[in-house]
Amino acid sequence: MTIRTRNNVNIKGHGTKPMIFAHGFGCGQAMWREVWPAFEKDYQIILFDYVGSGHSDINAYNSERYASLNGYAMDLLEVMQELNLKDAVFVGHSVSCMVGILASIKYPEYFESLVLIGPSARYINDAEYVGGFEEADIQELLTTMEKNYIGWANYLAPAIMGNPDQPELGQELTESFCSTDPVVARQFAEVTFLSDNRADLQKVRHRSLVLQCAEDLIAPLPVGQYIKEHIDQCSFQLMKATGHCPHLSAPEETIRLMKDFLA
């Protein structure tokens, strides 16, 4: 099995400078469809799915490899190695922001800059740190996923998406969650919500942009501000967009802020 097949790699665009998009939990590369075309004239666009997500090869899933975010960082790095990418613009959503950070620390020469959409270095509140969730909340979430995954997806996905005036987006995220193998999704959720990458932020050496939505159930405002304060050369933009997926609900604003940063 090739890496391109394993991770459903697709290459678009007419430029030579690489821009690689990494999707969030329970999603796939199709979630970037409103954003990447705005960059295809000037960049080589790379889209891929993590193993266990989207249209990747589920047979390549290994619970040991993906027992931490490092396994997903390996997916990203192996795709970049396969394509011989250097000085790439990395665009990550949600948990992929930390995946991209881990990868950039390991192989900094692959990256030029990081665009982090809705990032969180830790989801659980801790002493003076505000992550947005209590540990009991996360454990209840994981238990519900085990008992009734479809019900969990139908309840939580629209809340994560927000934007009730665009119900089709909440439905799309629900369907994306429901199309993911429940066992894979449960492990990915545990790895995501129990991770703590705060200590990794100070190791980042690339220009970074944090795009923070005004109202985000998953990554509240203090989370984005914390990341901004702990990464050198980090820009922070508080968006007018609400919800956790501005690349779907507010693509024009997302594109504009990305272009401002890259310029």
Q: What is the pLDDT of residue 32?
A: 98
Q: Chain-wide mean pLDDT for the chain?
A: 96
The percent of residues above 70 in pLDDT, for the chain, comes to 100
The span from the CA of 88 to the CA of 143, in Å, is: 38
Point out the least confidently predicted range of 9-23, 24-38, 170-184: 170-184
pLDDT tens figures, 59-117 = 999 999 999 999 999 999 999 999 999 999 999 999 999 999 999 999 999 999 999 99
The 8-class DSSP code of residue 234 comes to E
* 3-class SS string, 107-168: CHHHEEEEEEECCCCECECECCECCCECHHHHHHHHHHHHHCHHHHHHHHHHHHHCCCCCHH
Q: What is the pLDDT of residue 178?
A: 85
Environment class of 201 (CB within 10 Å of its CB; exposed 0-12, middle 13-18, buried 19+): buried
The span from the CA of 158 to the CA of 178, in Å, is: 13
Catalytic site positions: 94, 216, 244
What residue ranges define each of the domains in the chain, with the CATH number in brackets?
Answer: 3-122+197-262 (3.40.50.1820)
Helix (H) or strand (E) run with residue 11 in it: strand 10-12
pLDDT tens figures, 113-148 = 999 999 999 999 998 999 999 999 999 999 999 999
The span from the CA of 82 to the CA of 199, in Å, is: 29
Interval 208-228 mean pLDDT = 96
The reported pTM is 0.96
